């Protein structure tokens, strides 16, 4: 990396610790588009509902790992890929990507008809005195402030709804009170190690966070690759930082499920070409609103049921961003285990990044 780029990284890295110290865009990097993609515009990035239906066929991984496959692109995390990831560890420094859901209900929390609760389970009924250090916890796995990995049964093929509910690899979406029969989180393997890559767009553009509705295009992802000196490839776990938690800490909660910066639908062929294993974001990966009529979350709609790519929602990347900026290195070993919830539509994602 050139000398002036290193100086820039250090300056903006400090701003991640003390927001407001940096304000200029990164050298040689154009700022991200600030206007939302608008349905019906004439830009080169416009995506129609008809294009989305074509992509359901063109970008499909169905049958790629056999007709009985229930792991999707997690199959790309081979023993060789895991061993290569181990070689990225140099400093032995680890940070967590997990955020526990908020106890207090807010516009972006407690929104799945299940409040987050913790209680002591061995309490004297007469005095109320806690007798033992035993407790229990309940929360919604898809809560808007809980870091979780979606199971491949979570989304059905959009163009077939509502007549037919078909999920990845052609399985029917069989749901009952016990959850998913196929493609549930407990069917997707128990533990993984691979190369992780952080895409830190506020760092790239010299802002504290991207504004809501900001679309992220493939050209923005490639600008980040050039800046960070990495190339996203097969079997990688990719994490997109837009600054949600930095904004929330300073200005408070907002409806991040409905208004958020994120990937524009036009990025979908690029993601398929790069053949990533996992995609994570600080809210949902999709720009919201999506700008595609009839497709509220086109990134979810294609990656989960068509490509078989698990998505991580509500990832916490603030500690990761600070450490990566300090080290000037945005690739690392990422490891995680899956909570084997029988029939589960998601699992808490308690991943660890190690440099």
Residues 6+ apart with CB under 8 A from 355: 88, 89, 90, 91, 92, 93, 94, 323, 324, 327, 329, 332, 333
3-state secondary structure of 216: strand
In the chain, domain spans: 3-32+47-103+141-354
3-state secondary structure of 172: strand
> Looking at residue 28, what is its pLDDT?
52
Cα atoms in the 13 Å half-sphere on the side-chain side of 96: 10
Reading the chain (355 residues) residue by residue, the pLDDT tens digits are 433 344 444 444 434 433 333 333 444 555 554 433 333 344 678 999 999 999 999 999 999 999 999 999 999 999 999 999 999 999 999 999 999 999 999 999 988 888 899 999 999 999 999 999 999 999 999 999 999 999 999 999 999 999 999 999 999 999 999 999 999 999 999 899 999 999 999 999 999 999 999 999 999 999 999 999 999 999 999 999 999 999 999 999 999 999 999 999 999 999 999 999 999 999 999 999 999 999 999 999 999 999 999 999 999 999 999 999 999 999 999 999 999 999 999 999 999 999 9
Report how far residue 222's alpha carbon sits from residue 105's, in angstroms, rounded to the nearest whole number: 38
Q: Tokens 């802002």 — which residue?
A: 207
> Looking at residue 111, what is its pLDDT?
83
3-state secondary structure of 31: coil
> Looking at residue 29, what is its pLDDT?
52
User: Looking at 223-345, which runs of residues are DSSP E strands?
Assistant: 237-241, 262-263, 278-281, 311-313, 331-337
Does 9 sit behind a cis peptide bond, omega within 30 degrees of 0 on the bond before it? no
> Looking at residue 97, what is its pLDDT?
98
Please calculate the CA angle 44-48-54 and round it to the nearest 5 degrees.
105
DSSP bridge pairs for 269: none
Confirm or reject CATH 3.50.30 for domain 3-32+47-103+141-354, answering yes or no.
yes
Nearest-10 Cα torsion for 19, 232, 144, 217: 80
3-state secondary structure of 185: helix
């Amino acid at each position: 990396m050139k000398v002036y780029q290193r100086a820039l990284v250090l300056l903006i890295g400090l701003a991640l610790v003390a927001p407001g110290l940096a304000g200029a865009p990164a050298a040689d990097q154009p700022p991200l588009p600030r206007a939302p993609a608008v349905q019906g515009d004439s830009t080169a990035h416009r995506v129609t509902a008809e294009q989305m239906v074509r992509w359901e066929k063109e970008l499909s991984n169905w049958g790629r790992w056999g007709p009985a496959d229930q792991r999707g692109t997690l199959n790309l995390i081979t023993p060789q890929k895991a061993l290569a990831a181990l070689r990225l560890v140099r400093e032995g420094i680890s940070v967590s990507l997990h955020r526990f859901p908020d106890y207090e209900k807010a516009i972006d929390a407690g929104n799945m008809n299940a409040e987050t609760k913790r209680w002591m389970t061995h309490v004297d009924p007469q005095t109320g005195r806690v007798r033992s250090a035993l407790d229990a916890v309940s929360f919604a796995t898809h809560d808007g402030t809980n870091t979780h990995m979606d199971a491949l049964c979570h989304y059905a093929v959009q163009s077939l709804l509502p007549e037919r509910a078909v999920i990845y690899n052609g399985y029917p979406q069989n749901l009952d009170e016990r959850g998913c029969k196929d493609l549930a989180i407990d069917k997707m393997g128990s533990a993984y190690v691979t190369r992780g890559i952080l895409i830190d767009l506020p760092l790239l553009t010299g802002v504290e966070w991207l504004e809501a509705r900001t679309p992220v295009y493939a050209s923005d992802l490639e600008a980040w690759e050039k800046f960070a000196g990495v190339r996203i490839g097969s079997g990688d776990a990719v994490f997109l930082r837009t600054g949600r938690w930095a904004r929330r800490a300073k200005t408070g909660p907002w409806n991040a499920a409905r208004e958020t910066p994120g990937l524009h639908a036009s990025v979908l062929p690029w993601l398929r070409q790069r053949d990533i294993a996992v995609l994570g974001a600080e809210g949902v990966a999709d720009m919201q609103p999506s700008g595609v009529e009839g497709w509220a979350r086109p990134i979810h709609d294609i990656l989960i049921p068509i490509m078989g790519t698990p998505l991580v929602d509500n990832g916490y990347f603030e500690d990761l961003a600070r450490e990566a900026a300090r080290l000037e290195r945005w690739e690392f070993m990422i490891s995680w285990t899956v909570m084997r919830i029988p029939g589960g539509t998601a699992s808490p994602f308690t991943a660890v990044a190690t440099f």
